[in-house]
Structure 1
Protein backbone atom coordinates (compact mmCIF):
# COMPACT_ATOMS: atom_id res chain seq x y z
CA UNK A 1 0.00 0.00 0.00
CA UNK A 2 1.29 3.43 -0.98
CA UNK A 3 -0.37 6.69 0.10
CA UNK A 4 -2.01 8.83 -2.57
CA UNK A 5 0.25 10.74 -4.91
CA UNK A 6 0.56 14.46 -4.71
CA UNK A 7 0.82 15.82 -8.22
CA UNK A 8 -0.13 18.96 -10.07
CA UNK A 9 -1.48 16.59 -12.73
CA UNK A 10 -3.69 14.77 -10.27
CA UNK A 11 -6.72 13.21 -11.91
CA UNK A 12 -8.35 12.15 -8.64
CA UNK A 13 -12.09 12.01 -9.31
CA UNK A 14 -11.76 10.93 -12.96
CA UNK A 15 -12.96 7.44 -13.86
CA UNK A 16 -10.53 5.81 -16.30
CA UNK A 17 -12.01 4.04 -19.27
CA UNK A 18 -11.42 0.32 -19.61
CA UNK A 19 -8.32 -0.62 -21.65
CA UNK A 20 -8.32 -3.18 -24.42
CA UNK A 21 -8.52 -6.72 -23.00
CA UNK A 22 -5.37 -8.77 -22.67
CA UNK A 23 -5.02 -11.78 -24.95
CA UNK A 24 -4.26 -14.15 -22.06
CA UNK A 25 -5.59 -13.57 -18.51
CA UNK A 26 -3.21 -12.40 -15.79
CA UNK A 27 -3.23 -11.85 -12.02
CA UNK A 28 -3.33 -8.56 -10.12
CA UNK A 29 -0.77 -9.65 -7.57
CA UNK A 30 -1.54 -6.91 -5.00
CA UNK A 31 -4.70 -4.85 -4.55
CA UNK A 32 -6.62 -3.23 -1.67
CA UNK A 33 -10.35 -3.46 -2.26
CA UNK A 34 -10.94 -2.58 1.39
CA UNK A 35 -9.57 0.96 0.91
CA UNK A 36 -11.53 3.96 -0.31
CA UNK A 37 -9.70 7.12 -1.31
CA UNK A 38 -10.71 10.34 0.41
CA UNK A 39 -14.17 11.49 -0.59
CA UNK A 40 -15.01 8.28 -2.45
CA UNK A 41 -17.24 5.33 -1.66
CA UNK A 42 -15.67 2.00 -0.81
CA UNK A 43 -15.18 -0.18 -3.88
CA UNK A 44 -17.97 -2.54 -4.89
CA UNK A 45 -16.01 -5.78 -4.75
CA UNK A 46 -18.25 -7.78 -7.09
CA UNK A 47 -18.18 -4.97 -9.66
CA UNK A 48 -14.39 -4.64 -9.37
CA UNK A 49 -13.92 -8.37 -9.93
CA UNK A 50 -16.25 -8.34 -12.95
CA UNK A 51 -14.64 -5.27 -14.53
CA UNK A 52 -11.19 -6.82 -14.16
CA UNK A 53 -12.28 -10.15 -15.64
CA UNK A 54 -13.74 -8.34 -18.66
CA UNK A 55 -10.27 -7.08 -19.65
CA UNK A 56 -8.32 -10.26 -18.88
CA UNK A 57 -7.50 -9.84 -15.20
CA UNK A 58 -9.34 -12.89 -13.94
CA UNK A 59 -7.54 -13.42 -10.62
CA UNK A 60 -6.28 -11.11 -7.90
CA UNK A 61 -4.62 -11.09 -4.50
CA UNK A 62 -6.46 -8.91 -1.98
CA UNK A 63 -4.11 -7.54 0.68
CA UNK A 64 -5.28 -6.52 4.15
CA UNK A 65 -2.50 -4.73 5.99
CA UNK A 66 -4.18 -3.64 9.21
CA UNK A 67 -6.61 -5.55 11.41
CA UNK A 68 -9.83 -4.26 9.78
CA UNK A 69 -8.34 -4.89 6.33
CA UNK A 70 -7.18 -8.38 7.28
CA UNK A 71 -10.65 -9.26 8.60
CA UNK A 72 -12.22 -7.88 5.42
CA UNK A 73 -9.81 -9.95 3.33
CA UNK A 74 -10.69 -13.23 5.02
CA UNK A 75 -14.40 -12.51 4.54
CA UNK A 76 -14.19 -11.47 0.90
CA UNK A 77 -11.98 -14.31 -0.35
CA UNK A 78 -14.65 -16.75 0.76
CA UNK A 79 -17.20 -14.94 -1.39
CA UNK A 80 -15.19 -14.51 -4.62
CA UNK A 81 -13.33 -17.43 -6.22
CA UNK A 82 -11.24 -14.96 -8.25
CA UNK A 83 -9.57 -13.72 -5.06
CA UNK A 84 -6.85 -15.03 -2.80
CA UNK A 85 -5.72 -13.08 0.24
CA UNK A 86 -2.79 -11.70 2.16
CA UNK A 87 -2.75 -10.48 5.76
CA UNK A 88 -0.16 -8.58 7.79
CA UNK A 89 0.50 -5.40 9.75
CA UNK A 90 1.83 -2.64 7.50
CA UNK A 91 5.11 -1.12 8.73
CA UNK A 92 3.40 2.23 9.24
CA UNK A 93 0.71 0.58 11.36
CA UNK A 94 3.13 -1.20 13.68
CA UNK A 95 4.48 1.83 15.62
CA UNK A 96 0.93 3.01 16.31
CA UNK A 97 -0.07 -0.38 17.69
CA UNK A 98 3.08 -0.58 19.77
CA UNK A 99 2.47 2.86 21.25
CA UNK A 100 -1.03 1.80 22.34
CA UNK A 101 0.22 -1.48 23.81
CA UNK A 102 -1.81 -3.46 21.26
CA UNK A 103 0.91 -5.01 19.10
CA UNK A 104 1.05 -8.46 20.73
CA UNK A 105 -2.71 -8.92 20.41
CA UNK A 106 -2.57 -7.75 16.80
CA UNK A 107 0.15 -10.28 15.99
CA UNK A 108 -1.98 -13.04 17.51
CA UNK A 109 -4.98 -12.10 15.36
CA UNK A 110 -2.92 -11.88 12.17
CA UNK A 111 -1.53 -15.34 12.84
CA UNK A 112 -5.04 -16.69 13.37
CA UNK A 113 -6.33 -15.10 10.14
CA UNK A 114 -3.31 -16.37 8.21
CA UNK A 115 -4.44 -19.94 8.86
CA UNK A 116 -7.33 -19.52 6.39
CA UNK A 117 -6.60 -21.84 3.44
CA UNK A 118 -7.21 -19.09 0.85
CA UNK A 119 -4.80 -16.72 2.59
CA UNK A 120 -1.64 -17.44 0.62
CA UNK A 121 0.39 -14.35 1.54
CA UNK A 122 1.94 -12.86 4.64
CA UNK A 123 2.07 -9.24 3.68
CA UNK A 124 2.44 -6.56 3.10
CA UNK A 125 5.15 -6.26 5.70
CA UNK A 126 8.58 -4.65 5.51
CA UNK A 127 10.04 -1.22 6.16
CA UNK A 128 8.89 2.31 5.40
CA UNK A 129 11.30 5.09 6.35
CA UNK A 130 9.38 7.70 4.35
CA UNK A 131 6.55 8.21 6.83
CA UNK A 132 8.06 6.75 10.00
CA UNK A 133 10.84 8.66 11.75
CA UNK A 134 13.89 7.21 13.50
CA UNK A 135 11.86 6.47 16.62
CA UNK A 136 9.80 3.91 14.68
CA UNK A 137 12.63 2.08 12.93
CA UNK A 138 13.34 -0.45 15.67
CA UNK A 139 9.77 -1.68 16.04
CA UNK A 140 9.35 -1.78 12.24
CA UNK A 141 12.40 -3.99 11.91
CA UNK A 142 11.26 -6.27 14.73
CA UNK A 143 7.85 -6.58 13.07
CA UNK A 144 9.42 -7.37 9.71
CA UNK A 145 11.38 -10.20 11.36
CA UNK A 146 8.19 -11.49 13.01
CA UNK A 147 6.36 -11.58 9.68
CA UNK A 148 9.28 -13.33 7.97
CA UNK A 149 9.12 -16.01 10.64
CA UNK A 150 5.33 -16.32 10.24
CA UNK A 151 5.66 -16.78 6.49
CA UNK A 152 8.20 -19.54 6.99
CA UNK A 153 6.16 -21.28 9.69
CA UNK A 154 2.97 -21.21 7.64
CA UNK A 155 4.50 -21.87 4.22
CA UNK A 156 2.99 -18.68 2.81
CA UNK A 157 4.57 -16.32 0.31
CA UNK A 158 5.98 -13.11 1.81
CA UNK A 159 5.06 -9.77 0.22
CA UNK A 160 7.38 -6.91 1.15
CA UNK A 161 6.72 -3.17 1.32
CA UNK A 162 10.01 -1.31 0.86
CA UNK A 163 9.99 2.46 0.88
CA UNK A 164 13.30 4.29 1.28
CA UNK A 165 14.70 1.22 3.06
CA UNK A 166 16.33 -0.92 0.36
CA UNK A 167 19.55 -1.77 2.22
CA UNK A 168 17.84 -2.71 5.47
CA UNK A 169 15.20 -4.83 3.70
CA UNK A 170 17.87 -6.88 1.94
CA UNK A 171 20.02 -7.09 5.08
CA UNK A 172 17.19 -8.35 7.29
CA UNK A 173 16.08 -10.89 4.70
CA UNK A 174 19.65 -12.21 4.60
CA UNK A 175 19.96 -12.27 8.38
CA UNK A 176 16.64 -14.03 8.97
CA UNK A 177 16.73 -16.24 5.90
CA UNK A 178 14.06 -15.32 3.39
CA UNK A 179 10.99 -17.53 2.99
CA UNK A 180 11.08 -19.89 0.03
CA UNK A 181 8.75 -17.51 -1.84
CA UNK A 182 9.53 -13.80 -1.38
CA UNK A 183 7.93 -10.98 -3.39
CA UNK A 184 9.00 -7.35 -3.39
CA UNK A 185 5.69 -5.64 -3.99
CA UNK A 186 5.63 -2.38 -5.97
CA UNK A 187 9.34 -2.75 -6.66
CA UNK A 188 11.10 0.61 -6.39
CA UNK A 189 14.79 -0.27 -6.52
CA UNK A 190 17.42 0.25 -9.20
CA UNK A 191 19.10 -2.11 -11.67
CA UNK A 192 21.65 -3.32 -9.13
CA UNK A 193 18.96 -4.15 -6.60
CA UNK A 194 16.84 -5.92 -9.23
CA UNK A 195 19.80 -8.08 -10.19
CA UNK A 196 20.58 -8.91 -6.54
CA UNK A 197 16.96 -9.81 -5.83
CA UNK A 198 16.81 -12.07 -8.87
CA UNK A 199 20.05 -13.75 -7.85
CA UNK A 200 18.55 -14.43 -4.42
CA UNK A 201 15.47 -15.97 -6.05
CA UNK A 202 13.02 -13.23 -5.09
CA UNK A 203 10.11 -12.13 -7.27
CA UNK A 204 9.66 -8.49 -8.30
CA UNK A 205 6.17 -7.09 -8.70
CA UNK A 206 5.81 -3.95 -10.81
CA UNK A 207 2.95 -1.47 -10.43
CA UNK A 208 1.69 1.48 -12.46
CA UNK A 209 4.75 3.48 -11.42
CA UNK A 210 6.71 1.76 -14.19
CA UNK A 211 4.59 3.70 -16.72
CA UNK A 212 5.37 7.14 -15.28
CA UNK A 213 7.44 9.45 -17.48
CA UNK A 214 9.98 10.12 -14.72
CA UNK A 215 10.51 6.41 -13.93
CA UNK A 216 13.37 5.57 -16.30
CA UNK A 217 15.37 4.02 -13.46
CA UNK A 218 12.49 1.71 -12.64
CA UNK A 219 12.15 0.68 -16.28
CA UNK A 220 15.88 -0.04 -16.34
CA UNK A 221 15.39 -2.30 -13.31
CA UNK A 222 12.53 -4.07 -15.05
CA UNK A 223 14.67 -4.59 -18.16
CA UNK A 224 17.25 -6.66 -16.23
CA UNK A 225 14.71 -8.78 -14.32
CA UNK A 226 14.28 -12.35 -15.63
CA UNK A 227 10.84 -13.03 -17.06
CA UNK A 228 10.18 -15.85 -14.61
CA UNK A 229 10.77 -13.51 -11.63
CA UNK A 230 8.16 -10.94 -12.70
CA UNK A 231 4.70 -10.19 -11.35
CA UNK A 232 2.32 -7.29 -11.98
CA UNK A 233 0.00 -5.41 -9.63
CA UNK A 234 -2.12 -2.33 -9.17
CA UNK A 235 -1.64 -1.47 -5.47
CA UNK A 236 -5.15 -0.07 -6.00
CA UNK A 237 -6.57 2.40 -5.23
CA UNK A 238 -3.17 4.10 -5.68
CA UNK A 239 -0.43 4.30 -8.35
CA UNK A 240 -2.71 4.37 -11.37
CA UNK A 241 -0.77 3.79 -14.60
CA UNK A 242 -0.42 6.38 -17.37
CA UNK A 243 -2.35 7.97 -18.94
CA UNK A 244 -4.56 8.05 -15.83
CA UNK A 245 -1.95 8.92 -13.21
CA UNK A 246 -3.65 10.51 -10.20
CA UNK A 247 -7.04 8.90 -10.81
CA UNK A 248 -8.32 6.10 -8.61
CA UNK A 249 -6.75 2.79 -9.52
CA UNK A 250 -8.53 -0.57 -9.81
CA UNK A 251 -7.63 -4.08 -11.01
CA UNK A 252 -9.20 -3.52 -14.46
CA UNK A 253 -6.33 -1.14 -15.28
CA UNK A 254 -3.63 -3.83 -15.06
CA UNK A 255 -3.51 -4.18 -18.90
CA UNK A 256 -1.99 -0.70 -19.16
CA UNK A 257 0.93 -1.76 -16.98
CA UNK A 258 1.31 -5.13 -18.69
CA UNK A 259 1.59 -3.55 -22.12
CA UNK A 260 4.13 -1.01 -20.85
CA UNK A 261 6.17 -3.81 -19.30
CA UNK A 262 6.12 -5.79 -22.55
CA UNK A 263 7.47 -2.76 -24.39
CA UNK A 264 10.35 -2.35 -21.94
CA UNK A 265 11.19 -6.04 -22.03
CA UNK A 266 10.90 -6.33 -25.80
CA UNK A 267 8.57 -9.32 -25.61
CA UNK A 268 5.17 -9.93 -27.17
CA UNK A 269 2.21 -9.13 -24.94
CA UNK A 270 0.85 -12.73 -25.07
CA UNK A 271 4.27 -14.05 -24.06
CA UNK A 272 4.41 -11.75 -21.04
CA UNK A 273 0.80 -12.51 -20.09
CA UNK A 274 1.40 -16.25 -20.10
CA UNK A 275 4.54 -15.83 -18.03
CA UNK A 276 2.81 -13.56 -15.48
CA UNK A 277 -0.05 -16.04 -15.17
CA UNK A 278 2.22 -19.05 -14.77
CA UNK A 279 4.47 -17.29 -12.26
CA UNK A 280 1.52 -16.14 -10.17
CA UNK A 281 0.21 -19.69 -9.93
CA UNK A 282 3.70 -20.89 -8.99
CA UNK A 283 3.95 -18.28 -6.24
CA UNK A 284 0.44 -18.52 -4.75
CA UNK A 285 -0.89 -21.89 -5.86
CA UNK A 286 -4.13 -22.47 -7.76
CA UNK A 287 -7.08 -20.16 -7.25
Structure 2
Protein backbone atom coordinates (compact mmCIF):
# COMPACT_ATOMS: atom_id res chain seq x y z
CA UNK A 1 0.00 0.00 0.00
CA UNK A 2 2.96 2.33 0.61
CA UNK A 3 3.80 2.12 -3.10
CA UNK A 4 0.22 3.09 -3.93
CA UNK A 5 0.44 6.15 -1.64
CA UNK A 6 3.67 7.19 -3.32
CA UNK A 7 2.04 6.75 -6.75
CA UNK A 8 -0.80 9.14 -5.88
CA UNK A 9 1.71 11.56 -4.35
CA UNK A 10 3.87 11.46 -7.49
CA UNK A 11 0.85 12.40 -9.63
CA UNK A 12 -0.07 15.14 -7.15
CA UNK A 13 -3.39 13.52 -6.26
CA UNK A 14 -5.10 12.46 -3.07
CA UNK A 15 -5.65 8.74 -2.43
CA UNK A 16 -9.41 9.10 -2.93
CA UNK A 17 -9.05 10.70 -6.37
CA UNK A 18 -11.50 9.35 -8.97
CA UNK A 19 -10.44 7.47 -12.07
CA UNK A 20 -11.38 10.47 -14.21
CA UNK A 21 -9.08 12.70 -12.11
CA UNK A 22 -6.22 10.21 -12.48
CA UNK A 23 -6.70 10.09 -16.27
CA UNK A 24 -6.89 13.87 -16.52
CA UNK A 25 -3.72 14.40 -14.45
CA UNK A 26 -1.80 11.75 -16.37
CA UNK A 27 -2.69 13.31 -19.74
CA UNK A 28 -1.62 16.71 -18.45
CA UNK A 29 1.77 15.37 -17.30
CA UNK A 30 2.14 13.51 -20.63
CA UNK A 31 1.63 16.76 -22.58
CA UNK A 32 4.11 18.56 -20.36
CA UNK A 33 6.71 15.82 -20.92
CA UNK A 34 6.23 15.93 -24.73
CA UNK A 35 6.56 19.69 -24.68
CA UNK A 36 9.80 19.50 -22.68
CA UNK A 37 11.21 16.92 -25.10
CA UNK A 38 10.52 19.20 -28.07
CA UNK A 39 12.20 22.10 -26.28
CA UNK A 40 15.15 19.91 -25.29
CA UNK A 41 14.72 20.64 -21.60
CA UNK A 42 13.43 17.22 -20.56
CA UNK A 43 15.41 14.20 -19.27
CA UNK A 44 15.51 10.79 -20.93
CA UNK A 45 16.29 7.27 -19.87
CA UNK A 46 14.95 4.85 -17.29
CA UNK A 47 15.38 7.34 -14.43
CA UNK A 48 13.47 10.12 -16.15
CA UNK A 49 10.67 11.76 -14.27
CA UNK A 50 7.98 10.71 -16.68
CA UNK A 51 9.03 7.08 -16.53
CA UNK A 52 8.19 7.22 -12.83
CA UNK A 53 4.86 8.85 -13.72
CA UNK A 54 4.11 5.95 -16.07
CA UNK A 55 4.78 3.35 -13.39
CA UNK A 56 2.69 5.27 -10.88
CA UNK A 57 -0.19 5.59 -13.35
CA UNK A 58 -0.17 1.84 -14.14
CA UNK A 59 -0.02 0.96 -10.45
CA UNK A 60 -3.06 3.11 -9.69
CA UNK A 61 -5.03 1.67 -12.67
CA UNK A 62 -4.24 -1.92 -11.67
CA UNK A 63 -5.35 -1.18 -8.13
CA UNK A 64 -8.62 0.35 -9.34
CA UNK A 65 -9.31 -2.64 -11.62
CA UNK A 66 -8.65 -5.10 -8.82
CA UNK A 67 -10.93 -3.09 -6.51
CA UNK A 68 -13.72 -3.10 -9.12
CA UNK A 69 -13.44 -6.88 -9.66
CA UNK A 70 -13.44 -7.47 -5.91
CA UNK A 71 -16.61 -5.39 -5.54
CA UNK A 72 -18.37 -7.34 -8.29
CA UNK A 73 -17.35 -10.65 -6.71
CA UNK A 74 -18.54 -9.42 -3.34
CA UNK A 75 -21.96 -8.55 -4.75
CA UNK A 76 -22.22 -11.87 -6.58
CA UNK A 77 -20.67 -14.25 -4.08
CA UNK A 78 -20.89 -12.34 -0.78
CA UNK A 79 -23.93 -14.36 0.25
CA UNK A 80 -21.69 -17.44 0.49
CA UNK A 81 -19.55 -15.68 3.16
CA UNK A 82 -16.60 -17.96 3.97
CA UNK A 83 -17.39 -20.15 0.97
CA UNK A 84 -17.33 -17.21 -1.45
CA UNK A 85 -13.97 -18.18 -2.93
CA UNK A 86 -15.08 -21.74 -3.52
CA UNK A 87 -18.40 -20.61 -5.03
CA UNK A 88 -16.55 -18.28 -7.39
CA UNK A 89 -14.27 -21.07 -8.56
CA UNK A 90 -17.24 -23.39 -9.16
CA UNK A 91 -19.07 -20.67 -11.08
CA UNK A 92 -16.03 -19.95 -13.22
CA UNK A 93 -15.55 -23.66 -13.82
CA UNK A 94 -19.05 -24.13 -15.21
CA UNK A 95 -18.96 -20.85 -17.11
CA UNK A 96 -15.71 -21.87 -18.79
CA UNK A 97 -16.56 -25.47 -19.49
CA UNK A 98 -20.25 -25.11 -20.34
CA UNK A 99 -19.52 -24.03 -23.90
CA UNK A 100 -16.86 -26.70 -24.29
CA UNK A 101 -19.24 -29.38 -23.01
CA UNK A 102 -22.01 -28.25 -25.37
CA UNK A 103 -19.62 -28.18 -28.33
CA UNK A 104 -18.34 -31.62 -27.38
CA UNK A 105 -21.89 -32.98 -27.17
CA UNK A 106 -22.69 -31.56 -30.61
CA UNK A 107 -19.52 -33.03 -32.07
CA UNK A 108 -20.24 -36.44 -30.55
CA UNK A 109 -23.86 -36.30 -31.77
CA UNK A 110 -22.62 -35.39 -35.25
CA UNK A 111 -20.16 -38.29 -35.23
CA UNK A 112 -22.87 -40.71 -34.07
CA UNK A 113 -25.26 -39.44 -36.74
CA UNK A 114 -22.57 -39.75 -39.40
CA UNK A 115 -21.73 -43.30 -38.30
CA UNK A 116 -25.40 -44.30 -38.26
CA UNK A 117 -25.95 -42.78 -41.69
CA UNK A 118 -22.89 -44.56 -43.04
CA UNK A 119 -23.93 -47.88 -41.48
CA UNK A 120 -27.49 -47.52 -42.79
CA UNK A 121 -26.13 -46.74 -46.25
CA UNK A 122 -23.84 -49.77 -46.09
CA UNK A 123 -26.72 -51.96 -44.94
CA UNK A 124 -28.93 -50.62 -47.72
CA UNK A 125 -26.20 -51.23 -50.29
CA UNK A 126 -25.72 -54.74 -48.94
CA UNK A 127 -29.44 -55.44 -49.29
CA UNK A 128 -29.47 -54.04 -52.83
CA UNK A 129 -26.47 -56.22 -53.70
CA UNK A 130 -28.55 -59.28 -52.81
CA UNK A 131 -31.26 -58.30 -55.29
CA UNK A 132 -31.20 -59.45 -58.91
CA UNK A 133 -30.14 -56.90 -61.54
CA UNK A 134 -32.73 -54.41 -62.75
CA UNK A 135 -34.42 -55.42 -65.99
CA UNK A 136 -36.21 -52.12 -66.58
CA UNK A 137 -36.81 -48.81 -64.86
CA UNK A 138 -40.14 -47.11 -65.50
CA UNK A 139 -41.32 -43.65 -64.52
CA UNK A 140 -44.96 -42.61 -64.39
CA UNK A 141 -44.81 -38.88 -65.07
CA UNK A 142 -48.09 -37.01 -64.96
CA UNK A 143 -51.29 -36.55 -63.01
CA UNK A 144 -50.98 -40.05 -61.58
CA UNK A 145 -51.02 -41.24 -57.97
CA UNK A 146 -51.30 -44.45 -55.98
CA UNK A 147 -54.78 -45.51 -54.83
CA UNK A 148 -53.78 -45.30 -51.17
CA UNK A 149 -52.25 -41.85 -51.64
CA UNK A 150 -48.86 -43.13 -50.52
CA UNK A 151 -45.46 -43.17 -52.19
CA UNK A 152 -44.48 -46.85 -52.03
CA UNK A 153 -44.31 -48.06 -55.64
CA UNK A 154 -43.68 -51.70 -54.72
CA UNK A 155 -47.23 -52.75 -55.77
CA UNK A 156 -46.59 -51.22 -59.22
CA UNK A 157 -43.29 -53.07 -59.48
CA UNK A 158 -44.94 -56.37 -58.57
CA UNK A 159 -47.76 -55.73 -61.06
CA UNK A 160 -45.24 -55.22 -63.87
CA UNK A 161 -43.51 -58.50 -63.01
CA UNK A 162 -46.80 -60.32 -63.56
CA UNK A 163 -46.81 -58.91 -67.08
CA UNK A 164 -43.14 -59.85 -67.57
CA UNK A 165 -42.69 -63.13 -65.65
CA UNK A 166 -39.33 -63.70 -67.37
CA UNK A 167 -37.96 -60.59 -65.66
CA UNK A 168 -36.60 -60.64 -62.13
CA UNK A 169 -36.77 -57.04 -61.06
CA UNK A 170 -38.29 -53.73 -62.13
CA UNK A 171 -37.95 -50.32 -60.56
CA UNK A 172 -40.84 -47.88 -60.74
CA UNK A 173 -40.72 -44.14 -60.02
CA UNK A 174 -43.82 -42.01 -59.64
CA UNK A 175 -43.74 -38.25 -60.24
CA UNK A 176 -47.06 -36.52 -59.70
CA UNK A 177 -47.21 -33.61 -62.12
CA UNK A 178 -50.46 -31.59 -62.26
CA UNK A 179 -51.58 -30.60 -65.73
CA UNK A 180 -52.39 -27.07 -64.56
CA UNK A 181 -50.92 -24.86 -61.85
CA UNK A 182 -53.90 -24.17 -59.62
CA UNK A 183 -52.22 -23.66 -56.26
CA UNK A 184 -48.89 -23.24 -54.53
CA UNK A 185 -48.90 -26.98 -53.91
CA UNK A 186 -49.20 -27.58 -57.65
CA UNK A 187 -46.32 -25.19 -58.26
CA UNK A 188 -44.18 -27.08 -55.72
CA UNK A 189 -45.01 -30.44 -57.33
CA UNK A 190 -44.12 -29.14 -60.80
CA UNK A 191 -40.79 -27.80 -59.53
CA UNK A 192 -40.10 -31.10 -57.80
CA UNK A 193 -40.88 -33.04 -60.98
CA UNK A 194 -38.44 -30.90 -62.95
CA UNK A 195 -35.68 -31.67 -60.44
CA UNK A 196 -36.59 -35.36 -60.65
CA UNK A 197 -36.20 -35.33 -64.43
CA UNK A 198 -32.74 -33.80 -64.12
CA UNK A 199 -31.50 -36.74 -62.03
CA UNK A 200 -33.71 -39.58 -63.27
CA UNK A 201 -32.43 -42.20 -65.71
CA UNK A 202 -35.56 -44.27 -66.33
CA UNK A 203 -35.75 -46.39 -69.47
CA UNK A 204 -39.45 -45.90 -70.14
CA UNK A 205 -41.70 -42.93 -69.37
CA UNK A 206 -45.47 -43.21 -69.03
CA UNK A 207 -46.99 -39.74 -69.48
CA UNK A 208 -50.40 -38.12 -69.69
CA UNK A 209 -51.11 -36.09 -72.82
CA UNK A 210 -50.23 -32.67 -71.40
CA UNK A 211 -46.91 -33.77 -69.95
CA UNK A 212 -46.06 -35.82 -73.04
CA UNK A 213 -46.39 -32.67 -75.13
CA UNK A 214 -44.09 -30.81 -72.72
CA UNK A 215 -41.40 -33.48 -72.62
CA UNK A 216 -41.44 -34.53 -76.26
CA UNK A 217 -41.42 -30.95 -77.49
CA UNK A 218 -38.20 -30.19 -75.65
CA UNK A 219 -36.20 -32.84 -77.45
CA UNK A 220 -33.22 -34.72 -76.06
CA UNK A 221 -35.26 -36.94 -73.69
CA UNK A 222 -37.36 -39.31 -75.81
CA UNK A 223 -36.26 -41.10 -78.95
CA UNK A 224 -38.39 -41.28 -82.11
CA UNK A 225 -40.26 -44.56 -82.57
CA UNK A 226 -41.07 -44.28 -86.29
CA UNK A 227 -38.80 -47.18 -87.30
CA UNK A 228 -40.19 -49.40 -84.55
CA UNK A 229 -43.75 -48.49 -85.49
CA UNK A 230 -43.02 -49.58 -89.06
CA UNK A 231 -41.37 -52.84 -87.96
CA UNK A 232 -41.79 -54.77 -84.70
CA UNK A 233 -44.78 -52.77 -83.45
CA UNK A 234 -46.62 -52.49 -86.76
CA UNK A 235 -48.95 -55.52 -86.31
CA UNK A 236 -50.08 -54.18 -82.94
CA UNK A 237 -50.62 -50.55 -83.89
CA UNK A 238 -53.44 -48.48 -85.23
CA UNK A 239 -53.17 -44.85 -86.22
CA UNK A 240 -54.96 -43.65 -83.08
CA UNK A 241 -52.23 -45.16 -80.89
CA UNK A 242 -49.43 -43.18 -82.52
CA UNK A 243 -48.63 -39.98 -80.66
CA UNK A 244 -46.53 -37.52 -82.61
CA UNK A 245 -44.59 -34.41 -81.68
CA UNK A 246 -42.13 -32.08 -83.35
CA UNK A 247 -39.04 -30.65 -81.74
CA UNK A 248 -37.14 -27.65 -83.06
CA UNK A 249 -34.70 -30.06 -84.74
CA UNK A 250 -37.40 -32.13 -86.48
CA UNK A 251 -38.40 -31.24 -90.02
CA UNK A 252 -41.79 -32.90 -89.46
CA UNK A 253 -43.79 -34.46 -86.61
CA UNK A 254 -42.34 -37.80 -85.46
CA UNK A 255 -43.69 -40.61 -83.31
CA UNK A 256 -42.36 -40.10 -79.79
CA UNK A 257 -45.08 -41.95 -77.91
CA UNK A 258 -47.41 -44.92 -78.08
CA UNK A 259 -50.81 -44.75 -76.41
CA UNK A 260 -51.20 -47.85 -74.21
CA UNK A 261 -54.25 -46.57 -72.32
CA UNK A 262 -56.51 -49.28 -73.75
CA UNK A 263 -54.20 -52.12 -72.73
CA UNK A 264 -55.68 -54.70 -70.39
CA UNK A 265 -52.40 -54.71 -68.50
CA UNK A 266 -52.60 -50.93 -68.04
CA UNK A 267 -56.10 -51.18 -66.58
CA UNK A 268 -54.85 -53.73 -64.03
CA UNK A 269 -52.07 -51.54 -62.70
CA UNK A 270 -52.59 -50.25 -59.13
CA UNK A 271 -52.55 -46.66 -60.39
CA UNK A 272 -55.13 -43.86 -60.16
CA UNK A 273 -55.11 -41.57 -63.18
CA UNK A 274 -58.70 -40.26 -63.57
CA UNK A 275 -58.93 -41.50 -67.18
CA UNK A 276 -55.78 -39.62 -68.17
CA UNK A 277 -53.92 -41.01 -71.16
CA UNK A 278 -51.05 -43.45 -70.62
CA UNK A 279 -48.53 -42.61 -73.34
CA UNK A 280 -45.33 -44.68 -73.35
CA UNK A 281 -42.05 -43.27 -74.58
CA UNK A 282 -38.49 -44.60 -74.53
CA UNK A 283 -35.62 -42.59 -73.18
CA UNK A 284 -33.11 -41.72 -75.88
CA UNK A 285 -30.26 -43.25 -73.86
CA UNK A 286 -32.15 -46.12 -72.18
CA UNK A 287 -29.80 -48.79 -70.83
CA UNK A 288 -31.71 -51.61 -72.50
CA UNK A 289 -33.51 -50.41 -75.62
CA UNK A 290 -34.75 -53.91 -76.45
CA UNK A 291 -36.50 -54.41 -73.10
CA UNK A 292 -37.92 -50.90 -73.30
CA UNK A 293 -39.41 -51.72 -76.70
CA UNK A 294 -40.65 -55.08 -75.37
CA UNK A 295 -42.46 -53.19 -72.62
CA UNK A 296 -44.51 -51.26 -75.18
CA UNK A 297 -44.99 -54.30 -77.38
CA UNK A 298 -46.43 -56.46 -74.61
CA UNK A 299 -48.79 -53.77 -73.39
CA UNK A 300 -50.06 -53.34 -76.96
CA UNK A 301 -50.53 -57.09 -77.36
CA UNK A 302 -53.30 -57.07 -74.77
CA UNK A 303 -55.29 -54.07 -75.91
CA UNK A 304 -58.99 -54.16 -75.12
TM class by smaller structure: under 0.3
Q: TM-score by structure 2 length?
A: 0.25
- Specify which structure has the higher proportion of strand: 1
| Structure (1 or 2) with the greater helix fraction | 2
Identify which of structures 1 and 2 has the higher relative contact order when contacts are C-alpha pairs closer than 8 Å and 6+ apart.
1
